[in-house]
Amino acid sequence: MKTTLVLVIAFAASVSTATAQNVTPAMKSSNDVAVVVNANNPVSDLSIGDLDQIIRGDRRFWNGKSNITIYMRERGAREREIALAKTKLNDSEFKRLWGGLVFRGMANAEPVTVPSNGLASQCVRDSNGALAFVVAHDLPSDVKVLKIDGKLPGEPGYPLR
């Protein structure tokens, strides 16, 4: 009885997460860097300007309400380099910028550095306000991939590649 119940719940959970994601087979074969958020995040589309503001810390809330927490790969990782290249910041400037925001009391935490795409995706799954940069072929099926300037990873003209 209980085992049946457990199986039913597990199946229901897998169905609910599967419906929240938008990872396509085309993305899985792409080397583009995807911008991923929690499946419950209502945001689906960002402009490259919005993304620039988020990375620079000029915009720190989703729709003005919940905190955006950035999960970045470690220094030297391609995902990080591509994300920062869009803001014309190098690692040192990025560090100094966010250190200054925290030092000035404008942000209550700096972006979190994660050592793998798997951990970045896990953090996005577990945190409603999370935003991470993950190479598209490493995307799990239960996160939400944002369109950047109306385009998904793998599509022509996608800006993070």
Partner 1 sequence: MYSRFPHPMRFAFALLAGTLMFGATAYAQQQPTAEDVAALTRRINELEARLKAVEGQQNAAKPASADTFNANQPQSTAQTPSRSQPMDMGMSTHAISPDGLSFGQMKIRGFGDVGWHDTTGGLRQDTFALGQFDLFITSRLSDTTSILAETVVEADQTNAVGIDLERLLLQYQPNEYLNLSLGRYHTAIGYYNTAYHHSAWMQTALGRPFMFAFEDGGGILPVHNVGVSATGKIPSGALGLHYIAELGNGRASRTPLDEAVQNVVDENLHKSVNFGFLVKPPAWSGFEGGFDVYHDRLTPLGAAPIGENIYAGHIVYVSSVWELLNEAAFIAHTPEDTHRTFYTPIGYTQLSRRFGSYRPYFRYQYVNANVVEPVFSDVQMQHGPSFGLRYSATEYTALKVEYGRNMIRNQPATNTVGLQASFTF
Query: How many other C-beta atoms can be found within 10 angstroms of the C-beta atom of residue 129?
Result: 17
Task: Name residues whose C-beta falls within 8 Å of residue 88's C-beta, 6 or more positions apart in sequence.
Answer: none
Q: Is 52 in the site for partner 1 (CB under 8 A)?
A: yes
- Least Cβ distance, residue 156 to partner 1 (angstroms): 27
Q: Is 74 in the site for partner 1 (CB under 8 A)?
A: yes
Near partner 1 by CB under 8 A, which window of 7-15, 29-37, 90-98, 144-152?
90-98
Instruction: Enter the tokens of residue 147.
Output: 């369109």
Q: Is the separation of the CB atoms in 125 and 29 below 8 Å?
A: no
Q: Which of 53, 81, 140, 147 binds partner 1 (CB under 8 A)?
A: 53
Angle between helices 78-85 and 91-103 (to 10 degrees): 70
Question: What does the per-residue mask of binding to partner 1 show for 28-47, with x meaning CB under 8 A?
Answer: --------------------
Bridge partners (DSSP) of residue 37 are 131, 144
Of 45, 43, 39, 37, nearest to 18 by C-alpha is 39
Near partner 1 by CB under 8 A, which window of 29-37, 105-113, 136-144, 152-160?
105-113
Q: Using CB under 8 A as the criterion, which residues of the chain lie in contact with partner 1 when the complex forms?
A: 1-3, 6, 49, 52-53, 56, 58-61, 64-67, 69, 72, 74-76, 88-96, 98-100, 102-106, 108-116, 119, 123, 126-127, 129-130
